[in-house]
Amino acid sequence: MKHRYSVLLFPLHVFFDFVCLNASFVGAYGWAFGNIDEIAQPPYQSLWIAFNVAWAAIILLTQPYVFPRQLFKAGPLMRKLLMLTSVHMAVIALFWMLFQNVFFSRTQLLITYLLFLITAGLFRLGGLLFLQEFRARGYNSRRFVVVGYGKLAQTITRFYDVHPEMGFRFQGYFDWSTPENAGQLAGDYTQLAAFVKREGIDCVYCCMPYIDNVQLKQIVDQSERLDFQIKLLVDFRGFLTKGASVEYHDFLPVLNLSTKDLDSFRVAFLKRSFDILFSAGVLVLGSPLYVLVGLITRFASKGPVLYEQERIGQHGKPFMIYKFRSMYVDAEKAGPSLSQGLLDNRITPWGRFMRQTRIDELPQFVNVLKGDMSVVGPRPERQFFIDKIVEIAPEYTDLLKVKPGITSIGQIRFGYAATIEEMVQRLRFDLLYPKRRSLMLDLWIIAQTLRVMAQGRGR
């Protein structure tokens, strides 16, 4: 009989949870009332029964003790415990509402759940450590083979080699013999069924790059007769990190590799909410500064206070960006050109100060409210320069998957770029953002930007 010890895990889990639940209930009663003499008398008799009935019903409905070995870890176990306890608390609260005329101690209930979380949590952690050590020593193990020899097949065997606590024991590769796999195989496809039966194989991993549908169907048919699991290995590396998802067309699963909808709802919602609140706060609280900077800009040199220019935003959509004018009028009448830094003679004296302190960027908070930009994101560029950058660094197009921002990692670490080569260098920093963006990273970048502004180190 395969895994004769595994069948004991479920009843043991159920048994110890009931022990922890009842011990916590009794202990909390003694803590709250000083003794347990009347715990089996009304009204706590009915509450005690309700505790056990509710837990049993939750177990039957949710079947919470079924964990694949790959997920049998502290994190999933504790999250499941918290979920079960929360549901149990809701059921008991409903029970309490039905008996509003009966007094139950809130202190006793609170202590019961605290004790239960502690004892059940310790039981899970202790059981996890014991079982991992038990399996690492070779007990309660599952034997597996890999069908289809190649790099992906070697990856799964290395994974279980470095995780002996999962209890998977590799028994060999199966594939048609070729010069490349000479000496590496335990047999070919015609020998697989006999090997599985003889060695008591529990699981067969099938590597999709190296096996066709005819051979896979034969293995599936054999699994029903020989009682072993089949797991498919598909090489999705490089796809799933770019927002791939699975769609179902009736019964047919389709892998969507499109990266257009990269944002998860949670990240997009939090980021947009933060952008609106932060920008509105800056515009309202900073209105005196806006007026002051506008007046100085107006009288420091001839020309408008604000400067508008077309930039390219998310998914290649153009928009008009707003800045306090830091250059003389008609500075680019000869054609598009990059700033040569603070020594650029097209920049006004006041403009140099604004660029050092980054206050020329302040009107872009209007762009943020309009939805064209975000507070944090890669710097938006003109199409003219994007075309030149892409010729050198095609990966620049990855930045168009997210909204451009007022400030970015590249702006902090590198600053303004005077040449296409420098823009490519700054790109190396900005490419870190789409993969790692989060609210905490945005707050860190904003804090670093404020530091640059205060020190006047913008360039």
Q: Are 223 and 230 in contact (CB under 8 A)?
A: yes
* Band of pLDDT at residue 260, cut at 50, 70 and 90: very low
Mean pLDDT computed over 92-97 = 85
Q: Are 381 and 368 in contact (CB under 8 A)?
A: no
Token digits of residue 355? 């660029």
Mean pLDDT comparison of 163-167, 208-212, 243-247, highest-scoring range = 163-167
pLDDT of 1 > 50? The answer is no
Each residue of 202-236: pLDDT tens digit?
A: 899 998 878 888 888 889 888 888 888 888 887 66
pLDDT of 246 > 70? The answer is no
Q: Are 420 and 390 in contact (CB under 8 A)?
A: no
pLDDT of 412 > 70? The answer is yes
Q: Torsion over CA of 256, 261, 265 and 270, rounded to 10 degrees?
A: 150
* Region of poorest pLDDT, from 69-73, 80-84, 409-413, 442-446: 69-73
Task: Please state the domain extents for the chain.
Answer: 6-136, 142-235, 265-455
Within 10 A of 230 (CB to CB), how many other CB atoms are there?
Answer: 15
Each residue of 85-94: pLDDT tens digit?
A: 999 999 998 8
* Band of pLDDT at residue 293, cut at 50, 70 and 90: very high
Q: What pLDDT is attached to residue 71?
A: 66
Question: What CATH class has 142-235?
Answer: alpha beta
- Residue 230 is classified by DSSP as E
Average pLDDT over the chain, rounded to whole?
Answer: 83
Pairwise pLDDT comparison (250 vs 275), residue with the higher score: 275
Q: For residue 191, give the H/E element and its range.
A: helix 189-199
Phi-psi region of 238 (alpha: psi -120 to 50; beta: other; left: phi over 0): left
Q: How far apart are CA 58 and CA 336, in angstroms?
A: 68
Each residue of 2-19: pLDDT tens digit?
A: 445 556 677 888 899 999
Q: What pLDDT is attached to residue 437?
A: 76
With vertex at residue 435, the alpha carbon angle to CA 429 and CA 441, rounded to the nearest 5 degrees, is 75
Cα-to-chain-centroid distance, residue 282: 30
Q: How far apart are CA 456 and CA 355, in angstroms?
A: 8
φ, ψ for residue 204, nearest 5 deg: -120, 115
* Band of pLDDT at residue 251, cut at 50, 70 and 90: low
**Full-model pTM:** 0.47
* Band of pLDDT at residue 159, cut at 50, 70 and 90: confident
Pairwise pLDDT comparison (265 vs 224), residue with the higher score: 224
- Residue 211 is classified by DSSP as -
3-state secondary structure of 424: helix
Q: CA–CA distance from 13 to each of 7, 71, 89, 119, 423 (Å)?
A: 11, 16, 20, 13, 59
pLDDT > 70: what percent of the chain? 85
Pairwise pLDDT comparison (246 vs 350), residue with the higher score: 350
Q: What pLDDT is attached to residue 328?
A: 85
